[in-house]
Amino acid sequence: MLQYSSTESSGFFEKIEGNYCVSASMAPGKLVSSLLIVFMVLVLIPRTYQLQSSQAWSLLRIQTLLNDPPVLSAWDINTDFCNADPTPYLTVVCYEESITQLRISGSGSSPPLPRSFSIHSFFTTLSRLPNLKVLSLTSLGIWGPVPAKISRLSALEIVNMSSNYLYGTIPQRISTLRNLQTLILDHNMFSGFIPDALGYLPLLALLSLKNNTLSGSLPSSFSVLKSLRVLVLSSNSLSGDLPDLSSLTNLQVLDVENNFLGPTFPRLSRKIAAIDLRKNRFGGGLPTNLSSYFLLEELDVSSNKFVGPFLPSLLSLPSIRYLNIARNRFTGMLFGNMTCNDDLHFVDLSMNLLSGDLPTCLISNSSNKMFMYASNCLKIKDHSQHPYSVCQTQALAVEILPHHQKGKSGGKVAVVSGVVIGVVGIFSLVGAAVFFALRRGSIRRATKKPPRRIVEHASNGYPSKLLADASIVSHSVCMFCNLFFI
Ligand SMILES: *[C@@H]1O[C@H](CO)[C@@H](O)[C@H](O)[C@H]1NC(C)=O
């Protein structure tokens, strides 16, 4: 393969030398014009031959290591890599003699590459493209742990290796890539903790690790990731509270959906545009300063353990378009004359403890506006709502229990419960007692930090066998032999 460039160029120089020899015996005028021609030929060497032959060789080696995927079927020793038209699936960009961008995208559901694939050889080959700034290798069946030698690709600015079968921990050494701005490792099988060294990447603006099995809490080093704009950690097994992110004034998107995070609502900059905390263990009340998040367009806190009053001001935030508070225990009265932002096109209040009237500003005939409110205690003549007493009883319970969460003794709660039972009256006495018994148990369980071992082994979409194997199988053994080839 190497012969491609070297043969071509040595042939070319032989020709020039030939001309020169012939010219030497000519008249001086002719010699000058011949030299001029030679000079012009040298200047006008077709750009196509400028890619270093070693880099062309590396690309062909990558093709082989990736098991000749269909997307690379056009590559052979005659390919003019730097001048081929880019497609959505394949882009090679060169600058001077080097490749600066390599984007290869396989088909959606590529199976893992065969056993013979070696991720170490693969990264060794990649490291022979030292000027790579953009590396996107998605859905190619690449499997194995990311070797520390990724740090040799020190020019990298954008990395997207989503939808492969990468496993093991995210290597600490990735933090030596000082130019890294975008790191996307979605839909892989990374496990273990998020390395705190990621928090020290000075230019990191987009980090997306969605749909892996990462565990533990987000390192506190993320508090200083000043350039971070988008943080996506959804569908992992992360737990605990997020570090204070309020000084990340560039952060626009926080998506931590579907983890075990909580219980405290994260501290964020007022300039955030999208917050997705859906399906976690957040509890307590929403911070009242949410009303001052003037750029907030999307807020999803659904399927958590939030309690306390719903903040009506959320409906009228200046930028709000999407609001989902479903499946919590928010309390309070709604009123028909509440004000809403006109751009609000999705509101889900269902499965809370809200009472009162539907805000008329949410009721619309427009088909591109959605408003859901089932399973509350609103005054609506359909069967979607509970009787008012259900919400009233439960609301009293959740108003008391947060004190218990702050460390009051169980005895005091029993006393307060007694008072409440008195207030609610004999009518609901039996129901309330049963409710408290159940609810106190569940809140106490919820407020305890999840036991770490359980969290670490909790899976998110991957079979438990796979996780068990992943922790046993060492680097040199092919974990997929058992898991994917059966
Ligand atoms: C990363 O690659 C995937 C698959 O090709 C693509 O869908 C996604 O948009 C890319 N992410 C970014 C931020 O470019």
Contact 376 CB / ligand 1 (< 6 Å)? no
**Burial of 145: CB neighbours in 10 Å, binned 0-12, 13-18, 19+:** middle
The token pair at 127 is: 């490291």
| Distance, C-alpha 428 to centroid of its chain | 47
Residue count (the chain): 486
Residues 6+ apart with CB under 8 A from 411: none
Residue 160 Cβ contacting ligand 1 at under 6 Å: yes
Residue ID of nearest Cα to ligand 1 atom 10: 160
138 close to ligand 1 (CB < 6 Angstrom): yes
CA atoms within 13 Å, Cβ hemisphere of 437: 6
144 CA from centroid of ligand 1 (Å): 20
Going across the sheet that includes 377-378, the strands are 283-284, 305-309, 329-334, 353-356, 377-378
Ligand 1 atom showing the smallest separation from residue 186 Cα? 1
Q: How far apart, in whole angstroms, are the C-alpha atoms of residue 22 and residue 85?
A: 41
Peptide bond before 263: cis, by omega within 30 degrees of 0?
yes
Query: Angle at the Cα of 193 (from 469 to 276), degrees rounded to 5?
Result: 110
Ligand 1: which of 87, 136, 183 to mutate, judged by most atoms within 8 Å of the beta carbon?
A: 136
The answer to whether residues 321 and 346 touch, using CB atoms and an 8 Å cutoff, is yes
Q: How far is CA 39 from CA 149, 352, 410, 470, 482, in A?
A: 43, 81, 93, 61, 62
CB 355 within 8 A of CB 330: no
Q: Rounded to an integer, what distance in angstroms lies between the CA atom of residue 22 and that of residue 176?
A: 56
Question: What predicted TM-score, i.e. pTM, was given to this entire model?
Answer: 0.75
> What is the CA(162)–ligand 1 centre distance, in A?
7
Buried b (16+ CB within 10 A) or exposed e, 41-53: eeeeeeeebebbb
What atom of ligand 1 comes closest to residue 208's alpha carbon? Answer: 13
Q: For residue 178, what are its two tokens?
A: 């000082």
Six token digits for residue 106: 């396989």
H helix and E strand count, the chain: 10, 24
Distance 186 CA to ligand 1 centre (A): 9
Q: What is the mean pLDDT of each run of 10 residues along the chain (486 residues)?
A: 30 31 47 64 51 91 97 94 94 94 92 97 96 98 97 97 98 95 98 96 97 98 97 98 97 98 97 98 95 97 96 96 98 95 96 95 88 95 90 79 45 43 46 48 38 30 31 30 31
- Whether residue 188 has its Cβ less than 6 Å from ligand 1: no
Q: Does ligand 1 have an atom closer than 6 angstroms to the CB of 105?
A: yes
The pLDDT value given to residue 13: 31
**Spatial separation of the C-alpha atoms in residues 486 and 408, rounded to whole Å:** 54
- 250 C-beta neighbours (distance < 10 Å), count: 14
Half-sphere exposure of 403 (CA within 13 A, CB side): 14
Look at residue 36 in the predicted model and tell me its pLDDT: 66
Distance from the CA of 159 to the center of ligand 1, in angstroms? 10
178 CB neighbour count, 10 Å cutoff: 13
